[in-house]
């Protein structure tokens, strides 16, 4: 019989644990991707973009700031606002998701998700939730919601009840400030507030599988016209087109993701 003293056993277990952690983190390291601009379209430079979505050939946008928040349908090629519904003065518009014939729009600190008929913007219902609302996406089965932390919450589209949640990580480390979201081919793509990168997330594990580096895309501001952060992702699933913009940006960009420099 072999007797292993406790200190030696502890060291052995610690060594194995470090090996497992090290190999897991190495395997989870996300790849870095770049971008190519395919085209760009006019965008209202006064729109404080909080959410962007594409559905049935139409672009929808949520704008923020108290007293200026709205839900809009925008003509892509001209940037013209075709329809708009203003939020209450105390509501700060946030992420949106198109679910069939409805559009759901979060508010930042009001704890309310506004449900509107997509065809008319007529208000249908209001859901309540705890904490802050940042980004929202529809993956075909569930709503995916961010609140500025490293957590994504999955919700029922009809009741807004929580169905589950996952922590987003990069090589084992939490990724906070998750903002605007979009569901693309089984992944969740997320703006990270203040960053020029988009995280591509496996919703089953929360692991960031890739970063799309959009450094250099941010346009130069016109005199007297401020430019804020990158924010806004819309995916045209039928046309396989990816659109991005930012708060107070004068352009919506159609981009193609390409391999990045190592």
Residue 224 CB neighbour total at 10 angstroms: 5
> What whole-number percentage of the chain has pLDDT above 90?
84
Report yes or no: 101 and 115 within 8 Å, Cβ to Cβ: no
Average pLDDT over residues 45-50: 96
Strand 197-201's sheet: what is its strand order? 178-184, 187-192, 197-201, 208-213, 31-42, 251-259, 241-246, 230-236
Distances (CA, A) of 103 to 53, 120, 169, 207, 238: 10, 10, 29, 28, 19
pLDDT category of residue 7 using cuts at 50, 70 and 90:
very low
Is the model's pLDDT at 16 over the cut of 70?
A: no
Is the model's pLDDT at 19 over the cut of 70?
A: no
List the single range of 20-24, 139-143, 162-166, 177-181 with lowest mean pLDDT: 20-24
Q: What confidence score (pLDDT) does residue 262 get?
A: 54
Is the model's pLDDT at 231 over the cut of 70?
A: yes
Q: Tens digits of per-residue pLDDT, 85-136?
A: 999 999 999 999 999 999 999 999 999 999 999 999 999 999 999 999 999 9
Is the model's pLDDT at 13 over the cut of 70?
A: no
pLDDT category of residue 142 using cuts at 50, 70 and 90:
very high
> Where is mean pLDDT largest: 4-13, 20-29, 197-206?
197-206
Rg of the chain, C-alpha, whole Å: 21
CATH of 31-259, one of 3.30.43.10, 2.120.10.30, 1.10.10.10, 3.30.70.270: 2.120.10.30
Average pLDDT over residues 35-42: 98
Q: What confidence score (pLDDT) does residue 3 get?
A: 41
Residue 65 CB neighbour total at 10 angstroms: 16
What is the C-alpha separation between 8 and 128, in angstroms, rounded? 54
Residue positions counted in the chain: 262
Query: Considering the entire predicted model, what is its pTM?
Result: 0.88
Report yes or no: 96 and 71 within 8 Å, Cβ to Cβ: yes
Domain boundaries, the chain: 31-259
Is the model's pLDDT at 224 over the cut of 90?
A: no
Residue 52 CB neighbour total at 10 angstroms: 25
Is the model's pLDDT at 22 over the cut of 80?
A: no
What is the per-residue burial (b if ≥16 Cβ within 10 Å, else e) of 154-181? bbebeebeeeeebebbbeeeebeebbbb
Average pLDDT over residues 17-45: 75
Q: What confidence score (pLDDT) does residue 261 get?
A: 60
Is the model's pLDDT at 152 over the cut of 60?
A: yes
């Amino acid at each position: 019989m072999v007797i292993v003293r406790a200190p030696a056993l502890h060291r052995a277990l610690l060594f194995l644990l470090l090996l497992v952690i090290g190999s897991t983190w190495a395997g989870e390291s996300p790849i870095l991707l770049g971008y190519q601009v395919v085209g760009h379209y006019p965008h209202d430079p006064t729109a404080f973009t909080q959410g962007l979505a594409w559905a049935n050939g139409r672009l929808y946008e949520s704008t923020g700031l108290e007293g200026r928040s709205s839900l809009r349908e925008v003509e892509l090629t001209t940037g013209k606002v075709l329809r708009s519904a203003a939020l209450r003065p105390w509501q700060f518009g946030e992420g949106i998701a198109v679910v069939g014939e409805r559009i759901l729009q979060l508010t930042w600190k009001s704890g309310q998700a506004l449900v509107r008929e997509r065809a008319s913007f007529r208000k249908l219902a209001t859901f309540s939730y705890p904490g802050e609302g940042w980004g929202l996406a529809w993956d075909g089965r569930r709503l995916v919601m961010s609140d500025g932390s490293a957590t994504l919450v999955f919700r029922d589209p009809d009741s807004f009840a929580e169905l589950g949640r996952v922590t987003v990580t990069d090589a084992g480390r939490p990724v906070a400030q998750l903002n605007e979201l979009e569901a693309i081919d089984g992944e969740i793509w997320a703006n990270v507030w203040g960053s020029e990168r988009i995280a591509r997330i496996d919703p089953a594990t929360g692991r960031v599988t890739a970063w799309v580096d959009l450094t250099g895309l941010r346009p130069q501001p016109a005199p007297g016209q401020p430019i804020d952060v990158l924010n806004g992702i819309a995916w045209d699933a039928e046309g396989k087109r990816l659109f991005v913009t930012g708060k107070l940006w004068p352009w919506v960009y159609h981009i193609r993701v390409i391999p990045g420099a190592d």
